[in-house]
Structure 1
């Protein structure tokens, strides 16, 4: 069961794993194998063929200059979490910081093929500063997608995540 979603029985895979993807000039990138299987299971194509849909947008916390990616089924869970947050934090004057929902609603659904390739939407890619490489990291409910240099420079980032990013970039012959 997801934290904050009491009453929901969730039978969905959790995103765990990481990897680096080469981003081509059209913004095409492949989801690493460790994450692709969960995404495909959570977002199967109606015709049973490989591939599906992934939602990609800026992270809702502006401190994290990265993208989040998830299957369309997570939208209902995210909306429920935000509705609960709105109910809990609406002021006595009836006002709520609607920027919280605006940041979370900034995703774009795009198809991915059987190899996990998808075209990263232009604005989210620009927002996160993703160039030639994209670092993917599963955080259970969704996948974070980072520009490697930005991730390393994020002071609040966990040391193990930074080490994983450095490791994959080192394998590509790139020092961060």
Structure 2
């Protein structure tokens, strides 16, 4: 992976549903992005290549497995292919804006292999709810991941 998406950015959603992606990632995203529903009422933005890898892993699951079929359907039905314009903006669909309850004030966070788009108030609430968990996570918790 050549791009690490990290950091927090605060773009505004315009009246046409467009959001400017962080300037430092524009070159990496210029080839196109896939915007899909994320977890916790956020949107996920993947580089097209990264999304294709996720799609291949998803499609490797058995079509005889009802949970796998349901995941595939929800993922692909709720994904929108976008190419950022010259100013680095993508247009978020009305369904995506509704799903993530986006207002004018948004937050874009780096999630290492993708970006997440949050409503600013929802992101603050999420951080407040999870700050203690983050603060108390000791090296033992990280050792299980590493």
TM-score scaled by length of structure 1? 0.63
Q: Say yes or no: does 1:81 pair with 2:57.
A: yes
Q: Pick the aligned partner of 1:104 from 75, 93, 97.
A: 75
Q: Which of 55, 58, 64 is the matching residue for 2:37?
A: 58
Alpha-carbon distance change, 100 to 155 in structure 1, aligned in 2, over 3 angstroms = farther
Deviation at 1:155, TM superposition (A): 7.1
Separation in structure 2 between the aligned mates of residue 38 and residue 16 of structure 1, nearest angstrom: 13
Partner of 1:165: none
Aligned to 2:114: 142
Deviation at 1:28, TM superposition (A): 1.6
Name whichever structure is richer in helix by fraction: 2
- List gaps (5 residues or longer) in structure 1: 1-10, 44-52, 161-176
Deviation digits for residues 66-104 of structure 1 (CA, Å, limit 9, x no counterpart): 1011221122211133245x35xx8xxx43302222232
Aligned-residue CA RMSD (Å)? 2.5
After the TM superposition, list the runs of 4 or more consecutive aligned residues in structure 1 that deviate by more than 4 angstroms. Answer: 155-158
Structure 2 length normalisation: TM-score? 0.74
The structure with higher relative contact order (CA 8 Å, sep 6+) is 2
5 Å-filtered alignment, 1:11-50, equals 11-40=1-30, 43=31
Q: Deviations over 1:107-132 (max 9, x none)?
A: 10122123211221221111100010
